[in-house]
Structure 1
Amino acid sequence: MCSVVDGWFSSLVCFTRMRTRQMKSSWTLAFAGVCSCGILYICYAVSWNANIPKMAYLPELPPQLKKTTGYDIWPSFQVPVNEQDEQDWFQQRCLPFSVKISIANLGSILSHWAKTSDEKCRKLLVAFNTLYSVSTRNASLILPDPFQVKVKKWLGNNEELFKEVYHQEIIHVVNRFTREHTIFNPLRDKRPVLPPDEPEADYYENILKETKKSCDFCNFKSYTAEHLFHRVENEHAFSMSNTFKVDTLHALIAMKQHDPLRWSAESYMGLMNLTLAWFQKAHRSFPSARFPSLIWDVLPKCGASQVHPHLHGFLDPERYHGVVEAWRLGAQDYFTTTGTNFYTDMARLSASLGLAVTHKSAVAFASLVPRKDHEVVIMAPTAGKDFFEMVYFVLRAFADDLHKYCFSMGLAYPALDGLEALIPAYARIITRGVVTDVRADMSSLELFAATNVNIDPFEVTELVRKSAKMRRKVF
């Protein structure tokens, strides 16, 4: 094509020279110059674009992938009506005899459950096996005589526990749709816990005192950034823009007090209600952004850069961030397979097994595939009072009843518009170990393979049940 253009350009030059000899008008020369430059530009552009692969500018998904990226409209999320009735019915109708339900007994429970002739029980078992894979594996070993002394000491010189070392039972649980894989070894949870070198309470008081003096969040109007649409604020909390963002709409929503654990129910509700206000204001400024999620880490052990209590909020235009979207994709696969709501069935199965606690329109249940210790999942149709209250019960149980000084939490709210693949409001909360321990509570196992958790989910449920019963009167 360029050869044609080059010929055209030569002809035009000759023509221009002829006309110049015949005409002395300056406008003719100017016109010819403009045309020459234009033709040169066309030639260059055509030649340059011819060498650029189209995929660099017009990427297209393979046809088979295009078909799998859409979401359907799912049945709405439903909370179990009465978790105690669900549990009682399951134990009376689906198990041949009374048995203590625990993570260590889960394989045996499934074996007995499979023998039931009750049609409803069998349907429930199909639902469980559709969602989860459970396998129990034996692990035996030999201990040299000198090493036996050390192992006994690790176990507090408890002879019964020492016998279990030789023949350990390890339970693997996999969520088939989220692909989460958790490994439990009940013996690890039975080991005596030694007190830390520095008392956690002393560490906590010291870090509060040291950080308050220079805390930017305590002087947020002078030392924190704002979004272009400014802040939201109420009596107990305020928003700011993260100075070093990970997304266009990346906020910090913080309490107006420095202590990250000793806050009142009123202050907590003020914080959580402000998350809703910020998402709504951000959505009005950026209508295409509609997928809200939050994270909350307490103290440096958990990765918090500031001791002052604060959540990170994200509002994305395309999808939820990371793990939240992975659950949503898993929920879509589950709907395609079963025609039912993934979140509803996960809560219903948890209630039947005695893992769930309900509060008004919210439900909390200990996860069978926890990311780390004590994971509790809280769900409700919407992010509102009932949902926030149930989250409060769990947080206070960890801080006040377990005396855990650091926790991590992730939350996601339903999309701000659209009906396709509408998730419930949900939170996932874990504890993060001893706050003074220099060792990380996560390793390459958790980062690149499966998760090892040694806290029995069934015991976690009892903790949440007691907290909800004791603290309902607060609201």
Structure 2
Amino acid sequence: MFFKDQLLSKIEKLDTATREKFTRIYKINISHGKLLIPDSMISWVKSNFGDVGSVEHQEFVKIFNRITGEGSIFNELRTKRPVIVDQSLGGAKEEVEKCFGDYFANPKTSTPEDVFGRIKGKYCITASNIAKYDGFSGLIIFNDHNPLNFNAEKIADYLEVASLYFKKAHEVNPDAIYPFFAWNALWRAGASIIHGHAQVVLTEGMAYSKIDMLRRQVLDYENLHLSNYFDDIFAVHKALGLGMEYGKTRIMVKLTPIKNNEILIVGRDYGQELAKSISKVLTALKNNLGVQSFNLVIYLPPLAKTEENWSHIPYIVRIVDRGNLGNKTADIGSMELYAQSIVESNPYKAMEALRN
């Protein structure tokens, strides 16, 4: 069953309270596109797409989040479009192993350290980012060369070391209070070094613009509707078959993903519970959907009191699939940067992967 059919069927069955939440947060539109295939292309179309009719008559599901301004356009036919693939590349494991012994293999001698020194965990160690993008811009370098060799215990250690990094940086500069955690897994996700690592940043003045924008949007929603935004979107996602509780966290396959297979995790506890949920999602994406590269970020509350209100913001994890490592075609283009994201994945297949 196509995403459109699954989604509309679920929407029809929403109870009154959940339907009210859905309509005040989301807007959905189904549109159509037609084209004519010349006889000279029929063989090629059948070879690549399987069916001429589905190419000549296409359907688009457009979903818009009225609160955050996020929007996505779903067209599953695009999953079949031809892309340029580097045939010289092997599997993820083989390509990663080729780069064993890079700069991060010996971090104590091949990377700079922060002014407060290094923090060593059981499965990682910190370094200072040599080309910083903020005052405190550090690295968590994994013991594992392959960033896809993760589990809940290792991820919990990365998060603990990140927390200690933020604390140490804040002690050096008490004005630096806004933490940010990012993990770009392999080159499709923007990693310049193959060896497994994450980035930790502590900024001052205000949280990064997109994070603070979300904070303000959610606060406006709660003031207007006297209802918690994250409770409401979880209620909607769960009712639509795209949300589940896992331990003390909530996991959602986003209705308005920035790109394919975007997963949202929210929770009030930082540490083991969050690590378990992150590990569950990443394992499902890797093992069940064949994800080889991903971006993962964590939005965290400030380390000190602020003038602005953060009480309504939980720990937020966003994870997105960045595609096949061999693809030479970029997955993000002008539409994603300046208009609305085009999504080729089916959220229900991602949800099925999470449940298995």
TM-score of the alignment, normalized to the shorter chain, above 0.5: yes
Looking at structure 2, the residues matched to 377 and 200 of structure 1 have their Cα atoms a distance apart, in angstroms, of 30
How far apart are 1:191 and its partner, in Å? 6.5
Structure 2 matches for 1:138-217, cutoff 5 A? 138-155=32-49, 158=50, 161-189=51-79, 197-198=87-88, 200-201=90-91, 204-209=93-98, 211-213=99-101, 215-217=102-104
For residue 431 of structure 1, report the CA deviation from its aligned partner. 1.1
Structure 1 CA distance, aligned partners of 2:2 and 2:56? 24
Please report how far the alpha carbon of residue 192 of structure 1 lies from its aligned counterpart in structure 2 after TM superposition: 9.2
- Matched-pair contact (CA < 8 Å) for 1:101–1:458: no
SS in 2 for 1:290: strand
Q: 1:369 aligns with which of 256, 266, 269?
A: 256
How far did 1:190 drift?
A: 6.0
Alignment RMSD (CA, Å): 2.3
Residue 19 of structure 2: which of 125, 132, 145 is its match? 125
Unpaired runs of 5+ residues, structure 2, are none
Q: Distance in 2 between matches of 1:269 and 1:279?
A: 15
Question: Residue in 2 aligned with 1:7?
Answer: none
Structure 1 gaps of 5+ residues are 1-99, 467-475
Mapped partners of 1:418, 1:464: distance in 2? 37
Shift of 1:174: 0.8
Distance in 2 between residues matched to 1:101 and 1:453, nearest whole Å: 13
For 1:175 and 1:418, the matched residues in 2 are separated by 30
Matches within 5 A, 1:67-466: 102-107=3-8, 109-110=10-11, 112-113=12-13, 121-155=15-49, 158=50, 161-189=51-79, 197-198=87-88, 200-201=90-91, 204-209=93-98, 211-213=99-101, 215-418=102-305, 420-422=309-311, 423-466=313-356
- Return the letter of the residue paired with 1:302: A
Which structure has more relative contact order (CA 8 Å, sep 6+)? It is 2
Could you say what secondary structure the match of 1:239 adopts?
strand
- Distance of 1:342 and 1:437 partners within structure 2: 37
Residue 287 (structure 1) shift: 2.4
Distance in 1, matches of 2:166 and 2:80, equals 44
Distance (Å, rounded) in 1 between the aligned partners of 2:239 and 2:316: 20
Matched AA of 2:94: E
State the secondary structure of the residue aligned to 2:176: coil
Amino acid at match of 2:7: L
* Counterpart Cα distance in 2 of 1:297 and 1:256: 16
| Contact 1:103/1:458 (8 A) holds in 2 | no
Alignment size in residue pairs: 353
For normalisation by structure 2, the TM-score amounts to 0.91
CA contact (8 A) 2:85 2:326 kept: no
C-alpha displacement of 1:267: 2.6
Within 2, Cα distance between the matches of 1:341 and 1:251? 33
Q: Is the partner of 2:174 in helix, strand or coil? A: coil
The TM-score with structure 1 as length reference comes to: 0.69
Residue 408 (structure 1) shift:
1.1
Distance 1:225 1:162 in 2: 57
| Contact 2:96-2:146 at 8 Å conserved across structures | no
In proportion to residue count, which structure has more helix?
1
- For residues 228-251 of structure 1, the C-alpha deviation after alignment (integer angstroms, 9 at most, x for no partner) is 222211221111111111111111
Contact 1:103 1:457 in 2 (8 A): no
Alpha-carbon distance in structure 1 between the residues aligned to 2:163 and 2:76: 40
- Distance (Å, rounded) in 2 between the aligned partners of 1:331 and 1:216: 41
Q: What is the alpha-carbon distance in structure 2 between the residues aligned to residue 284 and residue 416 of structure 1?
A: 11
1:326 Cα deviation after fit: 2.6
**Rg larger in structure:** 1
Identity of aligned residues (%): 28
Deviation (angstroms), 1:273: 1.7
Matches of 1:324 and 1:104 in 2, distance apart?
33
Residue 102 of structure 1, CA deviation: 3.8
Secondary structure in structure 2 of the residue aligned to 1:254: strand
CA apart distance, 1:184: 0.3
The one-letter amino acid of 2:289's match is: L
Quote the Cα distance in structure 2 between the aligned partners of 1:139 and 1:234. Answer: 54
Distance 1:190 1:289, change over 3 A: same
| Structure 1 CA distance for aligned equivalents of residues 6 and 152 of structure 2 | 37
**Structure in which a larger fraction of residues adopt strand:** 2
| Matched position secondary structure for 2:106 | helix
